[in-house]
Amino acid sequence: MRAVSGYIKAISLIALVVFLFGFAEKRQKSRKVSEVAVRFTDDENLYVTEEAVNKLLIQNKVAALNMDKETLDLNRVETLLNNHDMIENAEVFLTLDGKLQAEISQRKPIGRVVGNSSFYLDKNGELMPLSPYYSARVPLMFGFDGGNVAEAYGLLDYIKNDKFLTQHITGINRLSTGKFELEMRKLDFLVYFGKAENIELKFNNFKAFYKKALKDDKLNTYRKVNLQFGNQVVCTKK
């Protein structure tokens, strides 16, 4: 009799647990999205804003405040965000209290093409449209289009990783020969770079020249600085 009683109690306990679990699960599914929160993973200026992201989700009817959690498709939300022109990666998840959290990393431009059509070249060497919210402070690119802009990727990628070059180089000109000239900030001379090859060697030569010319107070005496000849820097005076 005692064994039967214990068996009944065990069955009752299991039934209660199953009921409570089912009730909690049903209640959890019936809850609505309490908040849509967007967080950008870096502190840089925004090429797409939180307001724009929320508007995108609402217009495409994939996520909104008070939406039933059961109808929310997180994969669809992530796909929509990752297809945005200004977003490099988006991760979306739902918290226990019903908050839809989107963590977004933006694409990062390293050069801006100026001409009949204007656009950025991003850090991965891909074309990126201009943003209506913010203009990146990157070197301007002249003589480029969508077909040849990748030729300058090696140059721009090297420049963005070098503090000295980032501070001093403001523009890249592509000549009809396919070679490059660099424009300098607050300096009245062009830097003839030649082809986008031996990039590290050429820039190291330029830094050594710049340091020496600055020390000798001769930076303003040059019209052109030529880096294309291997280990030497050839300067043309005004």
Residue 233's pLDDT band, with cuts at 50, 70 and 90, is: very high
Cα gap 115→145, rounded to integer Å: 8
114 with 189, same domain: the answer is: yes
pLDDT at 199 over 90: yes
Q: What is the reported pTM?
A: 0.81
Cα gap 209→219, rounded to integer Å: 9
- φ, ψ at 185 (rounded to 5°): -75, 125
Does 60 reside within a domain?
yes
Average pLDDT, rounded, for the chain = 85
CB 94 within 8 Å of CB 55: no
The per-residue b/e assignment along 188-205, b for 16 or more CB within 10 angstroms, e otherwise, is ebbbbbbebebbeebbeb
**What is the pLDDT, as a whole number, of residue 9?**
54
183 with 223, same domain: the answer is: yes
**What is the pLDDT, as a whole number, of residue 65?**
55
Domain that holds residue 170: 109-237
**What is the pLDDT, as a whole number, of residue 25?**
47
pLDDT at 165 over 80: yes
Does 148 reside within a domain?
yes
CB 208 within 8 Å of CB 187: no
At position 155, the amino acid (one-letter code) is L
Q: What is the mean pLDDT of residues 51-80?
A: 79
Cα gap 221→213, rounded to integer Å: 9
45 with 158, same domain: the answer is: no
**What is the pLDDT, as a whole number, of residue 28?**
45
CATH number at residue 132: 3.40.50.11690
